[in-house]
Copies of this chain bind each other. A is one copy, B any other.
Amino acid sequence: MLRDQVCFALYAASRALTDVYRPLLDEFGLTYPQYLVLLVLWERGDDPPTVSELGAALRLDSGTLSPLLKRLAAAGLVVRTRSALDERRVEVGLTADGAALRQRMTDVPLRVACSTGLDETELVALRDTLTRVTETIHRQKEQ
């Protein structure tokens, strides 16, 4: 029964992949969610996102992001600044250290992808299926 459940397969695979990331990220003092935040920030270049925009990208709320960002700020990788235009917003920008980390971590995704044992084609197919599932579910929630 357990073996038949797609959800358990998803849950187990997600934790297994995070296990692969853990030792790689440990070298940089990062957790996987923290790494995801950095991925978003690196992608944005200048134009730092607000906490909400980060949350929309990662599907995490302020209850998760606020303390996480506080830890990234304490590590000197990120700065949080109140927006001058709208004082409710907090913009999350990279420090020089945070930006520099990008170059040092370029090989991390490849090393993780290899550990799955899937080839390029299978990886792309898997990613697309999963993205479709996630979007189907979120579209349903909006109604």
Contacts and interface: CB of A to CB of B under 8 A. Distances in A.
Interface of A: 1-21, 32, 36, 39-40, 42-43, 57-59, 109, 112-113, 115-118, 122-123, 126-127, 129-134, 136-138, 140-141
B130 A12 contact: yes
**Oligomer: number of copies:** 2
A10 B9 contact: no
Contacts of A10: 10, 13-14, 17, 130
Contacts of A123: 6
User: Which label, helix, strand, loop or mixed, suits the secondary structure of the A interface?
Assistant: helix
Contacts of A126: 6, 9, 126, 129-130, 133
A140 to B, nearest CB: 6
B6 A116 contact: yes
A42 to B, nearest CB: 7
7 contacts: A2-B40, A3-B131, A6-B116, A10-B10, A10-B13, A118-B129, A118-B132
Contact of A134 (B6, B9, B58): B9
A113 B58 CA distance: 23
